[in-house]
Amino acid sequence: MKRILHGVVRTIAVFFLFCGIFPLCFYGHLNTGNGALILFGIFAFLLSVFWTQLQKTIALRILRYTASGVLLTCFVCGFMISGFMIWFGYVHTPPADIQGTVVVLGCEIHGERPSRVLKARLDAALSYLTQHPETPVVVAGGVGDDEIYSEAYVMRKYLMENGIASTRIYCEEQSRDTKQNILYAGEIIRREGLPETMLIATDGFHQLRAYLHANAVHHPAYAIPVTSFTFTTFSMQPEYWVREILGILHFTLIA
């Protein structure tokens, strides 16, 4: 039984390490998400390998069980938060008769074109906007450190190229993060007299934190999640997922 348990722990550790190292090596990503995956994988693997050696003295036993408790707590908390993320990301979608405003959250751009992640968000919004021709949309995102155009400008351009009338699109070009995306989009909604309910177009893993920010500024919110993936966007899901878990913990415990 002990051998099986250690085998499970090592398998999980190796999987976490792979999910953290892959985007680092192939996309140059290093953030709290894949950093946490790499650290968890390393400590879980080493703890399993040296489990027997860590019982030779009382101090080592205390270290062993403390480390085990911390890793188990992190894993269980992440698993529980993931359940809420899945519900808010893929189940908490707009009712058929809802009157709302689509809010597309910004992401990386390349010149005048959206990145693959942002394109997937825009395509999800496009699908909804095409089916609901009276619904307005706010595209939210400012100018990043290495960007020439605002993310909102690029998103507006993409939506117009795909048949959405310019009169339906409102640009929020000041924000630099999710909190500001929601806050400033809400200001546009109130100023322009648009429907108060936010229909947030972003990745499923991002929806819960976006919902929490919308709720903090008194906007009802539903999810328009990304449902199509390329290999690139799919391979980055684990690091983004873990980063969102950490962001949600920061929002609820610190912010």
Percentage of the chain surpassing pLDDT 90?
85
CATH number 3.40.50.620 is the correct assignment for the domain at 94-253: yes
Query: If you count them, how many residues does the chain have?
Result: 255
Percentage of the chain surpassing pLDDT 70?
99
Identify the band that residue 145 occupies on the pLDDT scale cut at 50, 70 and 90. confident
In what order do the strands lie in the sheet containing 100-105? Answer: 169-172, 137-140, 100-105, 197-202, 221-225
Does the pLDDT at position 255 exceed 80? no
Please, what is the average pLDDT of the chain? Answer: 94
Give tens-digit pLDDT for 122-136: 999 999 999 999 999
Does the pLDDT at position 253 exceed 70? yes
Is the whole model's pTM more than 0.95, yes or no?
A: no
CA 16 to centroid of chain Cα atoms: 17
Give tens-digit pLDDT for 23-63: 999 988 889 999 999 999 999 999 999 999 998 899 999 99
Name the CA radius of gyration of the chain, rounded.
Answer: 21
| pLDDT in the model for residue 235 | 83
| pLDDT in the model for residue 40 | 97
